[in-house]
Amino acid sequence: MKLTRTIVTEEGWNQASDRLANGGLTLLGLWGDAPCVYMALLDEATAEILVLSYACRDGAYPSVGARHPPAIRLERTIRDLHKLNAAGAVDTRPWLDHGGAPYAFLPAEGEGLHQIAVGPVHAGIIEPGHFRFTANGEHIVRVEQRLGYVHKGIEALMSGATLDDAAKLAARTSGDSTVAYTYAFALAAEAALQIAPPPRAVYLRALMAELERLANHFGDIGAICNDASFALMHTQTGILRERTLRAAELCFGHRLMMDVIVPGGVIHDLAADGPARLEELLSEIRRAFPPLVELYDNTASLQDRTVTTGIVKPDYARQYGAGGYVGRASGRNFDARRAVGYEPYSHLAFKVPVLDAGDVNARIWIRIREVEQSLALIDQILSLLPTGEIQTAIQANGKACEGLGLVEAFRGDVLVWLRLDASGQVARCHLRDASWFQWPLLETAIKDNIVADFPLCNKSFNCSYSGHDL
């Protein structure tokens, strides 16, 4: 992937912050690699990605978050993990480090307000995180998230790891996006080492990515409806999800297709009867899914829960560079497959659905439309699938190098930035889930909704805890 890293002075760093603040650029990532801090920027007009680095002075760099709020949690993370301070930061509380003093939640003042503390252990089978609601009766005036409970030190473990071991860690950053993470990691490694995977592997990667997208969209469309107590949809889409995972296992040897994509290619070729199995899967989905869409569209009691609930304002979606269905349901026309156009997507025809309403309903419709697009993409991939090798040998090139990968996971763009040392080991790897820029918008979306609609809103985002907590 095209990558230019520019070493900047304080002036250059601040200019970038200003361009973020005035909307000229979108923040793709902000991370530490002591003694430097790095910032990845996207120019949406030209689809160009820029990476800036700034050498900290006395362990500090000028705060980006003070001018551009989407950077605030990233700066708090950099302080926790790398001991580098953002000078002039507006929020200096720790984020992933839970070791210090009791956490100070932001205050909300007014008559008749009470707090509801939820988590980190939730009622369902979901990941842990804490939500602090301030409400007046049923009406929420503020919700504040506290995350970091599943912080496993992934990036620290990657430093000094071999490329193979680091790829396995990348695969376990967020299990629901394991294909997308290994895909982005492989692209970053291949960009750093300037090698290209064989054409067949390029198409197989996209095939896996679309199967992963289908499985997650099916599961979540049903789960959102289930949070509105409409269990029938959950049952029916659960069947489609299971069929998709079974097809994935038959084709690639693992239900979630974990560890199949590696730097240099893929390690498991499509099974001999894979194309036939996938044709069966596609025809079953094309038979079973449209009636479910109709059911969703025609059930007034369900629509009553999803329409106008949990609205993300388009301005926020743009400011935060919100990826995936969260951004696209709020008017942000961005999909890494289209915008950055990595292979093989530049050779495939697909539409990027965009809506403006920004509510739970719009996020469901984006996913419904994306299911249809993924089906069409799988058709094309199967008909264009090249023959030949599936892996190119990886060799260290004897000098330190850097690479970046940006891949569209089901919930949005995953960014991987990688620095390898001369022996080909990982010196530093940064993984940025789409959730970083979606979690804060959930706080804005829930305001003025009722407490009982929070699960519905939360599920319609389905942000990753593990992908965020690292």
Partner 1 sequence: MRKTLFESMTRGPLTEPPPAPDEAGLAELAQSVNRAARAKLGRSLSIRHVDAGSCNGCELELHALSNAFYDLERFGLRFVASPRHADVLTVTGPVTKNMREALKRTYDAMPDPKWVVAIGACAVDGGLFAASDVVEGGVKDVLPVDLHIRGCPPSPTELLKGLIALLERAA
Using CB under 8 A, list all residues that contact partner 1: 96, 98-99, 120-121, 123-128, 148-154, 156-157, 165, 168-169, 172-176, 178, 219, 232, 235-236, 238-239, 241-242, 245, 255-256, 258, 291-292, 295, 299, 464-466
Q: Using CA atoms, how far apart are residues 389 and 165, in angstroms rounded to an integer?
A: 23
426-432: strand order across its sheet: 401-409, 412-420, 426-432
Residue 159: DSSP 8-state: T
Residue 450: DSSP 8-state: B
Residue 391: DSSP 8-state: B
For residue 160, what is the enclosing H or E element? none
Strands (E), 106-225: 114-118, 130-136, 139-146
> At closest approach, how far in Å is the CB of 209 from partner 1?
16
For residue 38, what is the enclosing H or E element? strand 36-43
Query: Among residues 179 and 317, whose Cβ is nearest to partner 1?
Result: 179
> At closest approach, how far in Å is the CB of 98 from partner 1?
5
SS3 298: helix
CA 220 to chain centre: 15
Query: Among residues 126 and 307, whose Cβ is nearest to partner 1?
Result: 126
Query: Among residues 258 and 354, whose Cβ is nearest to partner 1?
Result: 258
Query: Among residues 153 and 386, whose Cβ is nearest to partner 1?
Result: 153
CA contacts within 13 A on the Cβ side of 5: 15
Nearest alpha-carbon partner for 195 in 163, 162, 156: 163
**For residues 363, 367, 210 and 326, what is the CA-based torsion angle, rounded to 10 degrees?**
-10
Residue 451: DSSP 8-state: G
> At closest approach, how far in Å is the CB of 154 from partner 1?
8
Query: What sign does the dihedral 353-357-358-361 (CA atoms) show?
Result: negative
Give the N- to C-terminal CA distance of the chain in Å, as an integer.
24
Query: Among residues 176 and 269, whose Cβ is nearest to partner 1?
Result: 176
Helices (H), 299-423: 300-306, 314-319, 324-328, 336-339, 360-384
Query: Among residues 75 and 176, whose Cβ is nearest to partner 1?
Result: 176
Query: Among residues 35 and 175, whose Cβ is nearest to partner 1?
Result: 175
> At closest approach, how far in Å is the CB of 173 from partner 1?
7
Query: Among residues 120 and 199, whose Cβ is nearest to partner 1?
Result: 120
